[in-house]
């Protein structure tokens, strides 16, 4: 088991928050396991109401990514109303290839507490916070990462791929690797236009 945040993060929190970008194109060079564990450790320190820690992680590398590829392929084939066998196989192959866009893919799931005192929505918020921690840590380590979701991530076949129960769900697929694209400066509208101060 990795010690907490064993690898020193290379930038300040403020810099990481402002300069992090989604990196959709990465090299296929393997990522050191210790670095992956650092991402998981960072994610594990996300806040959660009632300290439920509802996040679950499925780390896919090498041939392990085939689990995701098969799910993508099955979901894509299900959407095809008609077509030749060749067309079906082409669609399946194209969809399955998505799982191999990065050397590491981490499926992040939420496993909500069954306690009546716990609000299900807050469990999802906690899992989303875990993903954000992971993205910031990846950026601070000099890795590229992107948080992917979309309809396939919420499909029952995707839940089946990772053995999730009825109440559980995938909240994101985090693709990680060494950046292979230029990262442009980000842009945000000032927070002042989105903020109301209630002081009296």
Identify which of 161, 156, 150, 131 has the alpha carbon closest to the alpha carbon of residue 68: 161
Q: What is the pLDDT of residues 101-117, one digit of tens each?
A: 999 999 999 999 999 99
Beginning with the edge strand found earlier in the chain, give each strand of the sheet holding 144-148 in spatial order: 55-61, 104-110, 169-177, 144-148
Residue spans of the domains in the chain: they are: 15-25+33-179
- pTM (predicted TM-score): 0.91
From 108, 104, 127, 110, select the one nearest 35 (Cα to Cα). 104
Model confidence over 120-143: pLDDT tens digits? Answer: 999 999 999 999 999 999 999 999
Q: Which residue, among 48, 44, 40, has the nearest Cα to 120 in the 3D structure?
A: 48
Q: Which CATH number fits domain 15-25+33-179: 3.40.50.450, 3.40.109.10, 3.40.50.2300, 3.60.15.10?
A: 3.40.109.10
């Amino acid at each position: 088991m990795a010690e907490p945040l064993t690898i020193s993060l290379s930038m300040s929190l403020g810099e990481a928050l402002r300069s992090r970008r989604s990196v959709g194109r990465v090299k296929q060079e393997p990522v050191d396991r210790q670095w992956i564990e650092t991402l998981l450790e960072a994610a594990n320190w996300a806040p959660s109401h009632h300290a439920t820690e509802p996040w679950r992680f499925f780390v896919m590398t090498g041939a392990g990514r085939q689990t995701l590829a098969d799910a993508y392929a099955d979901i894509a084939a299900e959407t095809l109303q008609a077509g030749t066998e060749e067309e079906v196989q082409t669609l399946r192959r194209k969809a399955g290839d998505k799982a191999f866009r990065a050397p590491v893919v981490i499926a992040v799931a939420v496993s909500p507490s069954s306690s009546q005192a716990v609000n299900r929505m807050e469990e999802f918020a906690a899992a989303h916070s875990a993903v954000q921690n992971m993205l910031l840590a990846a950026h601070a380590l000099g890795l590229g990462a992107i948080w992917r979701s979309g309809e396939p991530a919420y499909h029952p076949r995707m839940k089946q791929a990772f053995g999730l129960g009825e109440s559980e769900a995938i909240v994101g697929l985090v693709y990680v690797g060494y950046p292979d694209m230029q990262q442009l400066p980000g842009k945000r509208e000032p927070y002042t236009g989105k903020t109301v101060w209630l002081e009296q």
